[in-house]
Structures are given as structure tokens and as C-alpha cells.
Structure 1
Amino acid sequence: MDVVGAWRLVEWRISHGGGRVSHPFGRDAVGLLYYTSDGYMSATVARAERPPLPGATPRQAPPAAQAEAFASFFCYSGRYEIRDGQVAHDVEMALNPAFVGTTQVRELNFDGDRLILAAKEDDRWHTLIWRRA
């Protein structure tokens, strides 16, 4: 199966040491993942039903509301390359500036119409399951 195209998030789960499983943006998190044929990608994940920021413009929202909007949303984009059962995302832009310039490597698998990306972080595994949009 080819990764090129648009994918919708089915689930983002984190498996912790000891068997505990968590869902960072809830079981109903939403997301879109795009892979283009010319080697670019974009990933966006958010908590479902995020409230709008108060105020006339987002910059006028109170700092606490801005912080919650940041904490409930995740995105990055850049170039990608598939190699040896993995996909490497070379991050060019990201909500979190610390991601810019990094390479995010994910295990790459397919299960029927689903794309499964997984990565180890310390003693836990992040698994993101996507379905073609």
C-alpha cells in the first residue's frame, strides 16, 4: 500500500511500561495526515471539540486560553522519506519550535485500509492509527 494521500486519525495511544495505555488528546482525538507524491508531509492532531478562543482575535485571548489551545493541538510538516519499514519526517515547520530541524522516525505498517505509525519514546510507545480519508 502507498502512503501518498490524505489520512484521518483513528486513534493515538501511548503504551507505557507496566501495560498502562493513555490517549493524550482523548479517545476521540481528531487528526489529518497528508503525504504528497513529491515528498512532503503534514500531520495535525487535536483534542476533539476544542472551544474557540475568546476575544476578537486569537492574540487577544487570555494567556490561559492560549496555553490550553497550544496544549490541545499538535502539528508539524516537512519532507519525508520511506526506508526499511520506517518513514522519516524531516521537520521544517512545527507548532513546537523544538521539533524544527529534527527527524521524526516512525515504524511504518499497514493493516487493511489502515496506516499505523509507531515510535518509542523513553519507556513508552506512541502508536497512531490512520484510515485513508
Structure 2
Amino acid sequence: MITKLENLIISLNFTEAKALVDGLSKDEVEDYFMELCFKSENIIFYSFVFDMLKEKETAFLHYIASIILSQPLCHLKGAYQAAFFHAKKAIELDKDDVELKEYLLFFNDIPDKLLNDKGAKTLAEKVIKIKPESEIAKKFI
């Protein structure tokens, strides 16, 4: 399955690749894209996710775009900034998703520190109100 997805995307057959992705769970989509990007470090996978975002903007697709840029493709100039943009956009689209808020805290830990300390503390406090057991948020309070 992952090889088929990889071949469709690399050959720019986005229509068939989208049909394949539509049949996957969110966990499978995340796992497959992380594996493909770590293996190849090819930005075409981000381009595919961005193309899907153009058709239907969702918090989940912004999250996928963000993790692709902030992890396997983080060595590219501007990748963290673009990832931060997508992470913030994901939260705008799904304000109740506490895991997205926890993920956004990551941007305070990177060398670029795109989320300042005050913003991280404020966000962590919001997370704790919703999810008091959040170990991620507790580190910022």
C-alpha cells in the first residue's frame, strides 16, 4: 500500500493518490507520510498534502503538512516557519483539539523558538484546563 502511494505521488498522479488516501485512517495517513518523508526527504509529499489542502482545508491536513515540515523536512530553509503556520492554522480550524495545542508547544522547544515563552505558557495553561494530566503542557508552566 505505501509503495503504491509513494509511486502515485512521485509520478504526480495525485488524483489516484488522493483516492487511496481517502480510504486510510488518520493514523495510517500520518504513519505513511512520516515514513515516506523520512525515507526519501522528498518535498513532493508536502506538495501532495498541500494540493489536498487546496481542495478541502481541514485541521488534520494542516497538521500532516506541519509534521512533514517540522520533522523529516526540517533541514529545509523555512521549514519550521511553514510548519508553525500549518500548526496554527490547524488549531484555527479545530479549536477544541487539545492534541493540536500540545503539538503547537513543540515550536517553543526548537532552536528558532517560533512560539515565545509567554505564548507557550498561556497555551499550556489552556491545555491543562482541558487535559490536566498533560505532561507536555506541565513542562511549560
Q: With the length of structure 1 as denominator, give the TM-score of the two structures.
A: 0.24
- Compare the two structures and name the one with the higher strand fraction: 1
Higher RCO (Cα < 8 Å, 6 or more apart): 1
TM-score (norm 2): 0.23
More helix by percentage:
2
